[in-house]
Structure 1
Amino acid sequence: MKKITLFLICLLSLSFVGCININPKYLEFKSQPEVGLYSNEIIEKIKNKEEFSLEVFDTNFYKTFPVGKDDNIILYNFFNSINNKDYVEDSRETKKDLSNKEEFRLIVKFKEDKYIINVFDSELITIHPWDGNYSPDIINMKNVPLGYNLYDFCDYIRKD
């Protein structure tokens, strides 16, 4: 009986060892090594003329709207219209805004990578890859021209 009890105690203690992982990389969202990390990745892919497609996902109706190839230029124009001042640090005020549900998700699909642009309103977006390790890029679109504003673009695609 003592052997069975000892065996069960050892088995239970060994089974819990696998649950304790001090630094699981996939759960820890560290701050980015550089400002605009994910934005820069998208910009580089666009500059290298990698093929990509866009989809607008309306979170209110749970409906996806494909974007025609002619409208893909919006990403290039958007990224050319922002600068480093438009990137927002993760602050208490920003977290309050980010706790709201996003209106749209702009899904950017490259051959091997997939990025999500969460569009909260006409001023605030976040950018992250489908499976990123760092916190998302947070961008304020106040200074972006109306023609390149991603909220207006997503709204246009939904209504079109």
Structure 2
Amino acid sequence: MRLNKYFIFPLILLVLLFSSCTNPINKQKANKYYYTNEVSKHLTLDKNISGSIIDTNFYKEIELSKDSITTIKDFIDNLKKDNFIDLPKTLPAKPKYKFYLNFNKEKYVINIYTEKYISIYPWDGDYVMDYIDMTGVYLNYNLYGLCINTFPQR
């Protein structure tokens, strides 16, 4: 009986200690452009960047060129805080195009919904996506236009 008392107490203590290990420390993003800052940092610092664009209507995939990656970097560099928004009410359920950006140790997805709305998030992120309103962004840097120019018109 005495052995059970010495066995049960440490067992209960271990269960209580490890029960909170799965709770994230920060449940909210620091700001609305958290993931976009991460992508910008990787685009600036990483040397080996690859990626692809997928047309989600036909599931056709094209590898990103260096010029396309430069356009994405210029797009992100020209964003202002006003471009970052909460989830829009008129956002389509399915994006028309998807960018997959592969960095050294990270993978990010950019969903292109319309000429106006996109979202950015990591492949295995913990927070809500960054939603971006592209109103006011230079037409040369609009990612929807990049997708239209990359895929031939049907």
TM bracket, shorter-chain basis: 0.7 to 0.9
Would the aligned equivalents of 1:101 and 1:120 in 2 still touch at CA under 8 Å?
yes
1:143, 1:123 → 2: CA distance? 9
Cα-to-partner distance string for 1:78-123 (whole Å, 9 max, x where unaligned): 0121110100023xxx1x3334211000111112111000000000
Aligned residue among 74, 78, 100 for 1:77: 74
Residue 65 of structure 1 aligns to a residue in which SS? strand
1:75, 1:83 → 2: CA distance? 15
Cα-to-partner distance string for 1:33-64 (whole Å, 9 max, x where unaligned): 22211100011112214321121110000111
Closer, same or farther in 2 for the Cα pair 1:85/1:24, shift >3 Å? same
Quick one: which amino acid aligns to residue 32 of structure 1? K
Taking every aligned residue pair, what percent have the same amino acid on both sides?
29
Cα displacement (A) at 1:25: 6.1
In the alignment, structure 1 segments of 5+ residues that lack a partner are 1-20
1:54, 1:107 → 2: CA distance? 5
Q: Give the aligned length.
A: 134
Report the counterpart of residue 125 of structure 1 in structure 2.
118
Closer, same or farther in 2 for the Cα pair 1:56/1:25, shift >3 Å? farther
2:114, 2:22 → 1: CA distance? 33
1:45, 1:145 → 2: CA distance? 22
Aligned residue among 34, 42, 46 for 1:45: 42
Is 1:155–2:152 an aligned residue pair? no
Cα displacement (A) at 1:71: 2.6
In the alignment, structure 2 segments of 5+ residues that lack a partner are 1-18
